[in-house]
Structure 1
Amino acid sequence: MSRLSDALQSEADVNPSPALRSKVDAYADQGGLLGAFTYFFTVLETDDGDLAQTLASIPTDLFVASALHDDVIDEADGWGADRKRRLNEHVSVGDLAFANVTATVAETPANVDLRPVLETVREIGTGQLAEETFDATTATVDDAIARSEERGGIWGELAVEIIAATDRYSDSQLEQLRTIATNGLFVLTVIDDLADLPEDIENGVATLPLVCFDGDPEEYRSTEALVEAILASDVPDRLEEIIAQRQAEIDAAASDLSASLDRSNETLPAAAARALTWYCESVCSVPVAETVPSDQQRDIRDRLTGDERLTRRYVADLVEEYRYPAAVDADEIASTVTELPDEPVVQTVIRLRHLESIVDEMMHTTLDGALAELRAPSASVS
């Protein structure tokens, strides 16, 4: 699968502006993360790279289509005199991305049943059309949590339904994958909503951080004052507790899934390498060298190809950093890595660092990071 914005060049009737091409690239980079998740768990059990690539393209392209259509809904009123052109190109390119999805579904092997996936796609579409009725003045925290689950979790559900279509995972394993994917996206949604709190307040959008606030937003003279009050309240602690609970569920599901997979330690890194290669070479618009410069690549290479003790320590640190499930033995993984060919391992770690940089550029991934950004500007507000 070529990068979507590049593929648009082959469409004679579509000539998107540079700004839209950049937007498509950014959305594909983001949707491709779901694609990489899908690719990994597909190739892990099927060892079929073509099938993994095909299925991974579905959430990638669908995310682009959905995001572009969302922009039409959310932004069109502010496009002014250029409104018609921007509407046309957003809708047209979004439709082309969706056409890619339908073509992919039609081309999948007969033994891959994607009908449940199409039901989830319909849910995503109807969610875009649904009238916004969420009211922070009457909503409970449970209401806000449910709304965050709907906004983020549906994409995790989509990825798991695609993986389920391979018919290689048990019901319990699929439920564990569902817990990992939906809770992971819920956590990212909550953190993103916190980071976007000032903008959401300005736009009258109620999200979980605002609903958790016990004060009356109308009593504050400005957005800055309200944000300061929220940060000084128990809202950060309440969000931390909610996120910690979901993270515990993710860790438990990941441990159970890891224990149930009958795969060697060599198979897991190999599947990860293939998924990362697909993302970096077929989807991501940002070159690896841009996020992992040559000096960092040399450092990674030195750590993985030098003294075995240093390699083991470095791999153990990676296992801890990326929160592999408790069932994974870091020493065993390190032993496996030292026995694998050097270059594939080096390239996998470099691409993993690249992926990490892409994610960090897209969004905050930690509550502390979002809080730090909010507190920096608000600290100067009297």
Structure 2
Amino acid sequence: MRPLLDFDAFYIVAQRVWLGDAEQAYDFDRFTKMQMDTVGGKVDLLHWTYPPQFDLLVAPLALIPVGAAYFLFIAATLAFYLMTLRAIAKGCFSLVVILLSPALFLTLACGQNGFLTGGLIGLACLTIERRQPVAGLSLGVMVIKPHLAIAIAVYALLARRWITVITAMAVIFLSSILCSLLLGPQIWSAFLGSVHDSSAFLERGGFALFRSISVYAVLRTAGLSASLAFAGQVVVAVFASSVVALAIYRDLPARWSLGLAGIASVLISPYAYDYDLPILGIGMALLLPDLTRLASERERVAIYSLTLIAGSYGLLQVLRLSIQYGAGAIEYPVPAFSGFALLVLLGLVLRVLLRGTGELRLEVQQGPIQAIER
């Protein structure tokens, strides 16, 4: 019996699409049996809560064997992510990859879609100021994980990038119609039912919360009730969105505002995990060229350390539990921490950038700025 990977869930759903009963994946009991049949034994159960658009996106994977499908999916999405990251980071590309290396390894190992979502957010950030339809297309495809695109959507709305907003809405609307036609209208009730069940499961602490990067997980594993932890998450989500709004209100360079939105993106939802951190890499790639000169040495060390901690904490805990207990890590209570590290990181980066606005205005008066794209 082999361990169940997250990619196995993608492959199972791809198969169900071709069998014409993709809605069964949203039924917890049926999906559990599918997972057990895949590995031939007991598994750490995965819920299927992806919107139907993701069902169609992964459907072609079922046309080839699972091993080849895994390699193709990871290779293609990783190449997409790294090319986008390099275009954004420029001279800081190597530094960003080093800081994100734990999260990149986790995404690679479990076959998750973090490279895809990170690449889509990166492409939106790269094109939103000059090629808005492309940005809208990228943002629209993020319907596969809409909770991770909220901060970028807030930027697009407040910065009045209407072509981006309209294009994204059109992509979501047309893809929803396509899902109804190809998968049947019942797919939506099945999807909504699964989201409800998964939310209840999250409330009960059924997931491995120490791998979550949300403040909800930090508070829940600290002993707070689900309702209080969720209230704390709402406060953080409002704060993260307000940071993006403040950046636009203060007329910070687009590169800075989008970078802050990239960090904020992984703080808004209670359901965000370490394999979603490639999006954080996009935010850091946008900001590091300027943070390296605006931040003090102590601040740079703190920024680098917080980024590494956010990505490595879950991985280190999994390794520790495996060595200590030799069993499924989800069975043992472990405090979450990454969400707190990300919250401090956002606050520290905002402080450095706001302090740097005076220097920015001085440079504008003295001549054109080459390092920062407005």
Same fold (TM over 0.5): no
| Rg larger in structure | 1
| TM-score, normalisation: structure 1 | 0.28
| TM-score, normalisation: structure 2 | 0.28
